[in-house]
Structure 1
Amino acid sequence: MPAPSPHSRLSADGPVLDGIPEHGRVPRYYAVKVELLAVIEELGEGAALPTERELCERFEVSRATVRQAVGELVLEGRLSRRQGSGTYVAAPKLVQPLALVSCTEGLRGQGVRPGRTVITLERRPAGRALAADLRVTSDAEVWHLERVLLADDERIGLESTYLPVSRFPQLREVFDPRQSLHACLSEQLGVVFAGAEERVETVLATPREALLIGTNPALPMLLTHRVAWGPDGVPVERVRSLYRGDRLSFLTRLGR
Structure 2
Amino acid sequence: MDYPNDQAPGAPVRSGIPEHGRIPKYYAVKARIALLVDELAEGNALPTERDLAERYEVARETVRQALRDLLLEGKLRRQGRGTVAAGPKLEQPLSLVSYTEGVRRQGRTPGRNLIGLDRFPCNAALAEETGLRPGEPVWHLERVLLADEERMGLESTYVAAERVPHLDTDFDPDSSFYSYLHDRLGIAFGDADERLETVLATPREALLIGTPPALPMLLIHRISRDTEGRPLERVRSLYRGDRFSFSTRLRDSSSTRLGDSST
| TM-score, length basis structure 2 | 0.89
Which 4+ runs in 1 deviate beyond 3 A? 7-10
In structure 1, how many angstroms separate the alpha carbons of the residues matched to 2:152 and 2:89?
11
Q: 1:156, CA displacement in angstroms?
A: 0.9
Q: 1:162, CA displacement in angstroms?
A: 0.5
Question: Which deviates the most, 46-55 or 218-227?
Answer: 46-55
In structure 2, how many angstroms separate the alpha carbons of the residues matched to 1:68 and 1:128?
46
Q: 1:81, CA displacement in angstroms?
A: 2.0
Q: 1:5, CA displacement in angstroms?
A: 4.1
Query: Match for residue 190 of structure 1?
Result: 186
Structure-to-structure mapping, 1:81-92, within 5 angstroms? 81-84=78-81, 86-92=82-88
- SS at structure 2 position matched to 1:99: coil
- Give the partner amino acid of 1:230: D
1:202 and 2:194 correspond: no
Unaligned runs of at least 5 residues, structure 1 = none
In structure 2, how many angstroms separate the alpha carbons of the residues matched to 1:51 and 1:16?
30
Unaligned runs of at least 5 residues, structure 2 = 253-263
In structure 2, how many angstroms separate the alpha carbons of the residues matched to 1:43 and 1:176?
38
Backbone CA RMSD of aligned residues: 1.7
Q: For the structure 1 residues 192 and 234, does the alpha-carbon distance in structure 2 shift closer, same or farther, using more than 3 Å as the test?
A: same
Aligned length: 250
Identity of aligned residues (%): 58
1:35 and 2:32 correspond: yes
Structure-to-structure mapping, 1:176-187, within 5 angstroms? 176-187=172-183
Query: Match for residue 54 of structure 1?
Result: 51
In structure 2, how many angstroms separate the alpha carbons of the residues matched to 1:133 and 1:239?
11
Q: 1:224, CA displacement in angstroms?
A: 0.8
- Give the partner amino acid of 1:81: R
- SS at structure 2 position matched to 1:173: helix
In structure 2, how many angstroms separate the alpha carbons of the residues matched to 1:5 and 1:179?
50
Q: 1:48, CA displacement in angstroms?
A: 1.5
Q: 1:9, CA displacement in angstroms?
A: 5.3
> What does the per-residue CA deviation read over 1:129-186, in whole Å, with 9 as the maximum and x for residues that have no partner?
3212221233222110111111111111111111112333233333222321111101
In structure 2, how many angstroms separate the alpha carbons of the residues matched to 1:130 and 1:9?
45
Q: 1:209, CA displacement in angstroms?
A: 1.3
1:126 and 2:118 correspond: no
Q: For the structure 1 residues 10 and 195, does the alpha-carbon distance in structure 2 shift closer, same or farther, using more than 3 Å as the test?
A: farther
Q: For the structure 1 residues 232 and 35, does the alpha-carbon distance in structure 2 shift closer, same or farther, using more than 3 Å as the test?
A: same
